[in-house]
Amino acid sequence: MTEEKESGILRIGDKIPNLTVNTTHGKKNLVDDYKGKWLVLFSHPGDFTPVCTTEFYGFQKRYDQFKEINTELLGLSVDQVFSHLKWTEWIKENLKLEIKFPIIADERGIIAETFGMISPKKGTNTVRAVFIIDDKSIIRVILYYPQEIGRNVDEIIRTIKALQESDKYGVAIPHNWPDNELIKDKAIVHPAASDEEIEKRKLQKEKGEIECYDWWLCYKSV
């Protein structure tokens, strides 16, 4: 076990711990209850705060888009569950939108500490962390935002779609996909790592199977 693991810090590529948490939808198990699903586990500094309210509104407005890509949402802060419930009630009554995904009440900060969601320089509240976890319970992306800046929910959706595309076709995904300036919605073929693979790339290009700027920058439709 590495030193990072011993301190409870999780990294990209780690499997998340099989923890049971208290949420606004009752008890949830981070592994068992999300088997076969992608999961966005995200923390916010606190209930009844302006930026967090805009974020939760944004996540809920796109909840159907997450479901379309086999993804569930799970919020978290160190507030108590009754605070979460009162806050989501306020959102429903005043903003006319029901928050339909669960929120973890991490009162003791155990989940936040395990996932590294608390920054000592930002007090005891959770920062704006995002963990994108795949359908095998593996952490694929970790994002951190400061308390004063809200997240871009559309970028989180784009990232999940890109990961799923990469996994399915064994390709790499370019900047700003699917609207990349060079290759638009096409995907990058992994660079050749030998003379034999270079010749293979050239032959694939001649056959029209891939397009290339050079042997190390090839792409195709998927």
| Candidates 16, 41, 52, 183; catalytic one | 52
172 exposed, middle or buried (CB, 10 Å; 0-12, 13-18, 19+)?
A: middle
CA dist 101 and 34 (Å) reads 13
Helix or strand holding residue 131 (H, E): strand 128-133
Task: Determine contact, residues 48/90, Cβ cutoff 8 Å.
Answer: yes
Nearest to 137 by CA among 32, 7, 42: 32
| Residue found by looking up tokens 């795949």 in the block | 134
Catalytic, 52? Answer yes
Q: Which residues are catalytic?
A: 52
